[in-house]
Structures are given as C-alpha cells and as structure tokens.
Amino acid sequence: MTTNVTLTVDGPVARVLFSAENGIQLLGPETRQRLAGVLGELEAASGVSVVVFEASGRVFIAGADINELRSLNEETAYANSREGQSLMNRVAKLPATTIVAIHGACAGGGCELALACDMRLATANARIGLPETGIGIIPGWGGTVRALRILGSATARRLILTGELVDAATALQLGLVDSVADDESALRTLVNNRVAIILNRGPSARALAKSLITDFEGPPPEAQFEAEAQAFAACYRTSEPNIGMTAFLEKATPDWHRGNVSVTPSDPA
C-alpha cells in the first residue's frame, strides 16, 4: 500500500501530510522518494519558516516496509541505511522550525523522522519507539545517533535495547515528546497554538538559533552515522533479520537461540 506525501504551503507555514488508503503509513522506497521531492521543494522555498509533519489514518508512521527490510542483504542494507540517514538529515537541517504531530503509533523510521524534528507533539494514545531489535536489526536511519544526542544514554539504551513502544505519558517523561494532547482534535489545536507562538518570533533569529543549538550539540556526527550504517549492514551477516521478520509476519515469537521461529503468539502489547 503506497503512502502519499503531500505538501501544502500557506504563507510562512508548510504542512507535510503522510497518507495511505489503509491508514497505515509506511516509509517504503516510493514514499521516501516522494518525501525527498517534498524536502527539495522546502529547501528551495522562500518565506517558509515553520514546517509541520503530520499524518492521517490509524497511525502516524508505522515504520519502514517490512518486505523491503526482509529483502536486504549486507550490501543493500548499508545503502538503505545511508539513504535513510540522508533523508532524515535533510529534515534536521531545514532552517525552518519543524514540528511533528504524532497520533497513534510512531515506530522505527517514523520515530527517526520525529527525532529529526525540532518539536514533537503527541496525542495521549500515541505509542512511540524504536522496535528494530525485535526483528533482528537496529535503527539505521539516524535513530541510534539522535536518540543518544537528544534523549541521553539511559533513555536511548532503554528504547533501542528493549525495542518497546512507550505510551505518550512515558514519552513525555523521557523527553521523547514535549507536549501531549487528549485526542486528535486537541492535537490540532495544540499544533496551531504552537505555530502561532513560533510565528511571533523572528524567523531569521529562529533559524540562527537552531543552527547554533545544532553546533553546540557537538560536531556533525558523520562518523557516527557511518558507524550506524556499518552496524545496520552487519545485522544481515547473521540469520537474525530473517528470524525476526519471519516471526513478525507470522505473528509469532522469534526463537533467536535455536535459529528458528517459535509458534507461540506474540504479545500484541
């Protein structure tokens, strides 16, 4: 199921909408290509000083396409990681202030997109995280790097090593989101109010401040992104991606130690 990426611009505010017919947004190859095109438009646009990333349907973004991930080998996994990192880096480097409005599940690549934004707002029923270790891989689109830089070591370890999707209240405590709204209607109001506050601040000053904050976090972590891509590719030297993704598709529990898949149903939570 293809996920569309639509850009609308209203004066200084741009909105990027992800939408799929079944309401489950995935960052498959075509969707990433469409997002790259939208980012090109935003990079060339003059006068846009706030960008809101949002989605319609049952979830925000459920992550990458499991069938694409399952088809990778060590060489193509490295290329996939570097492509995804480049895309998320372009989001992070937009001079405009970026906001992501999260409703429902925001997992894997969706969480990596959220971490690349300046501000993360969510509904109370949102569930957010980096579940890649559950299918035998690691976050490969900048997730290991940004989780550590933004959230700190303890939270990054918790999210990545457990692979759990945390609820919005927990995400707020961890700093994964900065505000929580009761429902989608309240989230729209929260986003609009946040946009109004931002627009009352100087756009050039905000762009300069964003650039400084990025610089003060430390030098550009290119070596870290390269190491992440190498590690993502290294996952495919083992049988774990096949074990984990087969289990995911069969709604079973992976048996990592025996090298096969148990038929015990997974806990849906």
The one-letter code for the residue type at 147 is A
CA distance linking residue 74 with residue 84, whole number of Å: 15
**174 token code pair:** 């961890």
Name the active-site residue from 132, 217, 228, 250: 132
The number of residues in the chain equals 269
Name the active-site residue from 112, 184, 222, 250: 112
DSSP H/E element including 250: none
Concerning whether 240 is annotated as a catalytic residue, the answer is no
Concerning whether 132 is annotated as a catalytic residue, the answer is yes
What ranges in the chain are assigned the alpha helix state H? Answer: 29-44, 66-71, 74-92, 109-115, 143-146, 153-162, 168-174, 184-199, 203-216, 222-234, 240-249
Q: Give residues with Cβ within 8 angstroms of 56, minimum separation 6.
A: 17, 18, 19, 23
Positions marked active-site: 112, 132
